[in-house]
Structure formats: C-alpha cells, structure tokens
C-alpha cells in the first residue's frame, strides 16, 4: 500500500494532507530518514512526527468505559470515541465497538476494525462469556440463580428463552452474573423480571480477558495473547 494511502487510512489526515506531510519531512523511518510517497518501509519502522504509527488494520482495543459515555459516533453528549485519539474515528475500515455498553454501564468494552474478528466475538457459536458486577436496589429473593440458570427464562416481548446464565451471589444486594449472549439491556431486564432494579452495573471480564492494568477511562491495544484470552 502506498504510504499516502496508508497514513490516510490510519486517520492521520486526508490523502492531500498526507502528501503535504511527506513533503515537509514529517514522515521518517526509525533512523530519521525522510520517506517518500512511494517508500516501501515496514509499518513498524515508520514514524509520523517522530512517533510510531498506530497499528495497521486488525487492531483490537480494550477500554475501561466510564459511566456517562455512549457507544456511538453520532449521538449527542459524551461518546466513547472521545476517549480515543481523534484520528481513530477516521480510520478506514472504521473502528467499531464489539457490542455495546449503555450509558449507565461501565467496564470492559472492545473496539476493532477487523470485521471477521468482530463477528467471531459476537457469534453465538463462539459462546464468549461476559461477566458483570451487579448492584441491586433491594435484597435478592433467593430464586434468581435457579431461574437464570434454567434456560427457560423469557424476557418481556421476546419469543426465545435466554441461554442459561450463572449467578454468583456476593451478598444480598451484590452479585456477579455471567452471560453467554448479549440481548438489549439483558442484565437489567433479567433482574427487573424478578422485581428488582439494577442501580450499578459494570462488565468486568470478556472471556478470561480482564481490565487489569487499564484504569477507568483508559484503553490499551491488545496483543495476540490478549486477544486469545477472549476465547478462553
């Protein structure tokens, strides 16, 4: 891929702007040599304004999403993309969230520009577990674990029962819930069906991938070993 197109696809600017950046000497190799538009330098050896390039297509990002942010590129208010470098919004292919967390849910959120990887994570065949830390308005009644694990629970206005889910009761108003699917507001609706209300919700794990080392509002690019944890 030509250098101008590569830089534009990574969101650093338009092709015209990248042509100007190259002419001004802002694009170099690691030895400080200025690169030309037709340079055939390895991605890892290219610097833009003395900084290594962002990862090529196929990047996967883990964010520790704070409360109050929306998983959208167009909605009003605070967006999860506001927590990433501005150029990430301009990447081609687009950088998409893998599933969503609503505005009032925090925790582990994945992004990728790899459509195959995205569908692999969300596919029912992958059966990727997602773990949520739940705080409730009222004490649980004691029947929730059996109901959630039954595989027979129906949510309002749906025609298919939920897959079995595992509930680990921490105390009377705190629990850890593991889901193997991702329906609209599923955790909140499950507890609402038992007569309770979720007051705080955070996703703590996807597969065996945790948020260790990623503070609230921060993000990291996943290594191949990190990505493997999603499916383990």
Cα separation, 17 vs 30, whole angstroms: 22
Could you give the strand order of the β-sheet that contains 27-29, starting from the edge strand earlier in sequence?
27-29, 46-48, 51-52
Is residue 132 helix, strand or coil? strand
Token couple for 166: 């595992």
Tokens 């705190």 identify what position? 174
Angle formed at CA 97 by CA 186 and CA 51, multiple of 5 degrees = 150
Secondary structure letter of residue 79 according to DSSP: B
- Find tokens 């007051």 and name the residue: 199
Euclidean distance between CA atoms 205 and 121, whole angstroms: 13
DSSP per-residue codes, 82-106: GGS-GGGGG-SS--EESS---TTEE
In this structure, the number of other CB atoms found within 10 A of the CB of residue 71 comes to 21
> Among the options 29, 42, 82, 102, which is catalytic?
102
Separation CA 177–CA 87 (nearest Å) = 36
The pair of structure tokens assigned to 177 is 């819930």
Is 86 one of the catalytic residues? no
Distance CA 57, CA 213 (A): 24
Q: Which residues are catalytic?
A: 102
């Amino acid at each position: 891929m030509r250098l101008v197109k590569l830089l534009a696809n990574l969101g650093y600017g338009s092709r015209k702007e990248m042509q100007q950046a190259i002419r001004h000497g802002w694009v170099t190799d690691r030895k400080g040599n200025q690169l030309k538009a037709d340079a055939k330098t390895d991605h890892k050896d290219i610097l833009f304004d003395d900084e290594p390039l962002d990862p090529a297509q196929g990047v996967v990002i883990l964010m520790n999403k704070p409360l109050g942010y929306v998983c959208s590129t167009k909605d009003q208010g605070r967006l999860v993309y506001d927590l990433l470098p501005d150029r990430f919004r301009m990447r081609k292919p687009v950088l998409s969230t893998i599933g969503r967390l609503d505005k009032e849910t925090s925790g582990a959120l994945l992004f990728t520009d790899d459509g195959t990887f995205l569908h692999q994570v969300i596919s029912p065949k992958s059966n990727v577990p997602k773990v949520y830390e739940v705080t409730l308005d009222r004490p649980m009644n004691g029947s929730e674990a059996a109901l959630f694990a039954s595989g027979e629970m129906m949510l309002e206005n749906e025609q298919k029962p939920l897959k079995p889910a595992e509930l680990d009761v921490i105390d009377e108003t705190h629990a850890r819930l593991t889901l193997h699917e991702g329906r609209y507001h599923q955790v909140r609706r499950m507890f609402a069906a038992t007569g309770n209300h979720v007051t705080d919700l955070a996703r703590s794990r996807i597969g065996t991938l945790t948020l260790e080392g990623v503070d609230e509002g921060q993000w990291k690019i996943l290594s191949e070993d990190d990505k493997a944890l999603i499916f383990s």
